[in-house]
Amino acid sequence: MQVVLGPDRSRLEPDRRKAGERTGPTALHPATTEGQEKMTRKIAVIVGCGIMGSDVAAIFLSQGWDVQAVARDETKWDAVRARVARAVQQLDSRGTVGTLRLVTDIRDLAWSGVQFGLETVPEDFEAKRKLFAELDRLVPPQIPLLTNTSGLRISEIARDCATRERMGGLHFFLPAHLVPAVEVVRGELTQAWVIDRLSNILRSVDRIPIRVEKDVPGFLANRIQHALMREAFAVIDEGLARPEDVDAAVRFGFGFRYVAAGPILQKELSGLDTQLAAGRSIYPALNTASKPSRVLTELVASGHYGTKTGQGFWKWTPEGIAAEQQRFERALIAAVKLLKEDGQGTNHIPVEPNSGGATK
Ligand SMILES: NC(=O)c1ccc[n+]([C@@H]2O[C@H](COP(=O)([O-])OP(=O)(O)OC[C@H]3O[C@@H](n4cnc5c(N)ncnc54)[C@H](O)[C@@H]3O)[C@@H](O)[C@H]2O)c1
């Protein structure tokens, strides 16, 4: 069952056709009928089977898609399958890991019937640039090619590609199979049909596409997240609060509300006048540093990366890490269920945009 999470976006999103934007079909956008799409099995291609690639593969497998994935080291295939199978099991699944086909080389992928290709190789500009140059030559031009980069610009990665109009960003959040939102990021030359097609595909696999119109650093969500993280680390630097108090203030304080409403809707509910007054008095005291905080820089310089190294703000045992990971995932799975139940009642959310002068 397809459940819409959040306000009815069809009523929120501007009608692009009215704005004169090209939505296809174009030379790169072959006509496919709905009937044809229903009859053929859907196939996704994923290049890179680490943390993100495995979890993204699970999203599509769990919805009955076939997935072809490039995992270069064959000795790790069992581990890849095990991680994917675990993630598929955590989802409300109607598919299985049995329809995952692994290959060691992108030249062994079959592109017939593929809906899109996504790269999830490490965050290294040169590696991604080379990979896109190869995909540019190998992949039929009607297939969208996406990068899951956290911060690099697709416009730069694809700068020398002949078919860069079908290339864009598809930014999943960790753990990708549990976090519902996915940013669909438009590069300088990405055509509208690519964004539209990916947004539709994401909705069809129970995800919430977030359209981001420019590939600026941090896209949309990470800009907001890092603004929060800068202040969170700064208050520790200043001795205002301990790390556990920062966590509690966000998780059980204002952050607790985010499972019910985003920050803008929440302020709409509580009063924009109060928000304006609070902003006037608090903004001048907020951190505006252009460099990461002292405590973060020192921890990383000392080799304390968190659970990865057994020490960060806290000390970890292997048992403690496993227990924390399980608790974290259990809570996210419960939150997804809650959001789906809440999604049934989104009609009561006021979705009529205010077209008055103040919002122009
Ligand atoms: N981990 C996160 O929290 C997170 C969140 C959002 C986005 N991302 C982005 O997703 C991408 C992948 O991150 P990750 O955490 O999964 O990394 P990872 O290191 O866990 O996985 C990358 C995988 O790609 C493989 N690989 C490297 N070069 C390859 C190539 N040419 N062809 C095929 N496979 C290749 C590696 O062997 C590895 O298995 C990065 O761009 C990262 O910035 C990560």
**CATH label, 9-212, candidates 3.40.50.460, 3.20.20.150, 3.40.50.720, 3.40.50.2300:** 3.40.50.720
Q: What residues flank ligand 1, with Cβ below 6 Å?
A: 47-53, 70, 72, 120-123, 127, 131, 148-150, 172, 174
Ligand 1 atom closest to the Cα of residue 121 is 24
The model's confidence at residue 27, banded by pLDDT at 50, 70 and 90, is very low
The model's confidence at residue 359, banded by pLDDT at 50, 70 and 90, is low
Whether the pLDDT of residue 141 is over 60: the answer is: yes
Lowest mean pLDDT among 4-18, 65-79, 137-151: 4-18
Lowest mean pLDDT among 14-23, 88-97, 132-141, 208-217: 14-23
**pLDDT value of residue 304:** 98
The model's confidence at residue 92, banded by pLDDT at 50, 70 and 90, is confident
Whether the pLDDT of residue 233 is over 90: the answer is: yes
Whether the pLDDT of residue 348 is over 60: the answer is: no
**pLDDT value of residue 346:** 44
**pLDDT value of residue 252:** 98
Q: How far apart are CA 5 and CA 57, in angstroms?
A: 21
Residue type at position 327? R
Residue 198 DSSP one-character state:
H
* Cβ–Cβ < 8 Å for 210, 236: no
Q: How many CA atoms lie within 13 A of 56 on its CB side?
A: 31
**pLDDT value of residue 271:** 97
Residue nearest to atom 3 of ligand 1 (CA): 174
- The larger pLDDT score, comparing residue 33 to residue 141, is at 141
**pLDDT value of residue 354:** 76
**pLDDT value of residue 12:** 33
Q: Do domains 9-212 and 221-316 have the same CATH topology?
A: no
Please give the structure tokens belonging to residue 80. Answer: 């890849």
Whether the pLDDT of residue 22 is over 80: the answer is: no
Nearest to 171 by CA among 188, 152, 196: 152
Q: How many CA atoms lie within 13 A of 307 on its CB side?
A: 8
The ranges assigned to domains in the chain are 9-212, 221-316
In this prediction, residues 324-341 reach a mean pLDDT of 93
Give the mutation target among 120, 135, 185, 225 for probing the ligand 1 site: most ligand atoms within 8 A of CB: 120
Whether the bond into 263 is cis, omega within 30 of 0:
no
Q: pLDDT tens-digit profile of 34-58?
A: 445 455 789 999 999 999 999 999 9
Whether the pLDDT of residue 212 is over 70: the answer is: yes
**pLDDT value of residue 356:** 57
Residue nearest to atom 32 of ligand 1 (CA): 48
**pLDDT value of residue 31:** 41
The SS3 of residue 341 is helix
Residues in the chain, how many? 360
The model's confidence at residue 29, banded by pLDDT at 50, 70 and 90, is very low
Q: From ligand 1's centre to the CA of 49, what distance in Å?
A: 7
Please give the structure tokens belonging to residue 185. Answer: 């990021």
**pLDDT value of residue 358:** 58
Residue 306 DSSP one-character state:
B
* Cβ–Cβ < 8 Å for 187, 169: yes
* Cβ–Cβ < 8 Å for 80, 71: yes
Whether the pLDDT of residue 123 is over 90: the answer is: yes
**pLDDT value of residue 41:** 87
7 vs 3, 10, 198, 213, 341, CA distance in Å?
12, 9, 19, 20, 14
Q: From ligand 1's centre to the CA of 59, what distance in Å?
A: 17
Q: What is the average pLDDT value for the chain, to the nearest integer?
A: 88
Ligand 1 atom closest to the Cα of residue 76 is 39
With 0-12 / 13-18 / 19 or more C-beta atoms within 10 angstroms meaning exposed / middle / buried, residue 101 is middle
Whether the pLDDT of residue 16 is over 80: the answer is: no
Whether the pLDDT of residue 2 is over 80: the answer is: no
Ligand 1 atom closest to the Cα of residue 127 is 31
Please give the structure tokens belonging to residue 164. Answer: 């860069």
The SS3 of residue 64 is coil
The model's confidence at residue 28, banded by pLDDT at 50, 70 and 90, is very low
Q: From ligand 1's centre to the CA of 148, what distance in Å?
A: 8
Q: From ligand 1's centre to the CA of 124, what distance in Å?
A: 9
Q: Mark out the alpha helices in the chain (DSSP H runs).
A: 9-12, 34-39, 51-62, 77-90, 125-138, 154-157, 192-204, 221-237, 243-251, 263-270, 272-282, 294-301, 318-343
Whether the pLDDT of residue 184 is over 60: the answer is: yes
Residue nearest to atom 27 of ligand 1 (CA): 121
The SS3 of residue 179 is coil
Give the mutation target among 51, 106, 171 for probing the ligand 1 site: most ligand atoms within 8 A of CB: 51
**CATH label, 221-316, candidates 3.40.228.10, 1.10.1040.10, 3.90.1150.180, 1.20.1050.10:** 1.10.1040.10
The SS3 of residue 172 is strand
Residue nearest to atom 7 of ligand 1 (CA): 150
The model's confidence at residue 341, banded by pLDDT at 50, 70 and 90, is confident
Q: pLDDT tens-digit profile of 301-332?
A: 999 999 999 999 999 999 999 999 999 999 99
Residue nearest to atom 13 of ligand 1 (CA): 122
**pLDDT value of residue 25:** 31
Proportion of the chain above pLDDT 90, given as a percent:
80
**pLDDT value of residue 270:** 96
Q: Annotated catalytic sites, by residue? A: 183
Whether the pLDDT of residue 6 is over 90: the answer is: no
Q: From ligand 1's centre to the CA of 121, what distance in Å?
A: 4
Q: From ligand 1's centre to the CA of 47, what distance in Å?
A: 9
Please give the structure tokens belonging to residue 344. Answer: 């049934």
